[in-house]
């Protein structure tokens, strides 16, 4: 099947200080598909996400999001592409505690220039779908509910690409499983591509493809049957 690539990394080399983190790395991710990148602390997983967000620039190679090479974009174009096409979930939900879950989600849409009753309805639908109380104070939410609210915030602008950095890292095993199950259903349900970086093999194994950071490259996890 010739799926459209929402993320395509070609010949990426990235060096920080005197450390070469990646050398000629290649990665593709289609819409409706998921990839997990598994690696120990310090292997470069967060750097890979920062590269995909355009927050840092590689020394060479290209990073295409929805067909556009972000290494060639200026700051404003990049910010626009990020707002329109990329959703991000962090390890610690990073919600604004003064706002309700609904307000946290709506804020992401407001920043992308959207507003009005249709937005309110979409926020409510998304929070209901993900099982998050809409108007409770964020400070009263459980860890799992917070992460689900953070996922709703990442999805509200209907991103082509969803990135997640240790999205279950702050949860106990039960909530880890609930949030991971929900996360890996999203590519099919919402038609986006999902890239998760994690050190947790039990989370990574839910992905269509599991890659590990090996040396300066990504390789399919031995025994996972995954291919690039």
Ligand X SMILES: Nc1ncnc2c1ncn2[C@@H]1O[C@H](COP(=O)(O)OP(=O)(O)OP(=O)(O)O)[C@@H](O)[C@H]1O
Binding residues vs ligand X (CB under 6 A):
16-17, 19, 21, 39, 41-47, 199
Q: Look up residue 11 and give its two tokens.
A: 């010949």
Tell me whether residue 103 or residue 200 sits nearer to ligand X (CB atom): 200
- Smallest distance, Å, CB 108 to ligand X? 24
Closer residue to ligand X (CB): 44 or 61: 44
Give min distance, CB of 213 to ligand X, in A: 7
Which of 153, 24, 1 lies closest to 9 in space, CA to CA? 24
Min CB(20)–ligand X separation in Å: 10
* Neighbour order of strands in the sheet with 217-220: 86-89, 161-165, 193-198, 34-38, 209-214, 217-220
CB of 74 to ligand X, least distance (A): 22
Bridging pattern class, strands 209-214 and 34-38 = parallel
The answer to whether 187 and 31 have CB atoms below 8 angstroms apart is yes
Cα–Cα distance, 69 to 48 (Å, whole number): 15
Identity of the residue, 45 or 209, whose beta carbon is nearer to ligand X in the bound complex: 45
Min dist CB 28 to ligand X, Å, is 21
In DSSP terms, which residues pair with 161 in a beta bridge? 86, 193
Q: Smallest distance, Å, CB 166 to ligand X?
A: 7
Query: CA separation (Å) from 181 to 26, 49, 114, 204?
Result: 27, 21, 29, 11
State which residue, 169 or 191, has the beta carbon closest to ligand X.
169
Nearest CB to ligand X, comparing residues 34 and 198: 198
Within its chain, how far is the Cα of 166 from the centroid? 10
Q: How far apart are CA 65 and CA 81, in angstroms?
A: 8
Q: Which is nearer to ligand X, 40 or 131 (CB)?
A: 40
Q: What's the helix, strand, coil split of the chain in %, to 5?
A: 35, 25, 35
């Amino acid at each position: 099947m010739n799926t459209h690539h929402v993320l395509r990394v070609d010949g990426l080399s990235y060096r920080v200080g005197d450390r070469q983190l990646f050398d000629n790395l290649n990665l593709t991710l289609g819409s409706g598909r998921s990839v997990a990148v598994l690696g120990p602390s310090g292997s470069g997983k967060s750097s890979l996400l920062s590269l995909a967000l355009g927050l840092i620039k590689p020394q060479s190679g290209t990073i295409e999001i929805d067909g556009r090479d972000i290494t060639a974009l200026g700051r404003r174009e990049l910010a626009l592409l990020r707002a329109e096409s990329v959703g991000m979930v962090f390890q610690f939900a990073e919600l604004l505690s003064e706002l309700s879950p609904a307000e946290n989600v709506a804020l992401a849409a407001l920043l992308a220039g959207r507003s009005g009753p249709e937005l309110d309805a979409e926020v409510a639908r998304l929070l209901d779908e993900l099982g998050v109380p809409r108007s409770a104070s964020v400070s009263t939410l459980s860890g799992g509910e917070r992460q689900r609210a953070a996922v709703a915030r990442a999805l509200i602008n209907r991103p082509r690409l969803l990135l997640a950095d240790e999205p279950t890292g702050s949860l106990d095993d039960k909530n880890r499983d609930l949030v991971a199950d929900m996360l890996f259903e999203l590519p099919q349900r919402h038609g986006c591509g999902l890239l998760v970086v994690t050190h947790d093999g039990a989370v990574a194994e839910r992905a269509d493809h599991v890659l590990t950071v090996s040396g300066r490259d990504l390789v399919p996890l031995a025994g996972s049957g995954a291919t690039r």
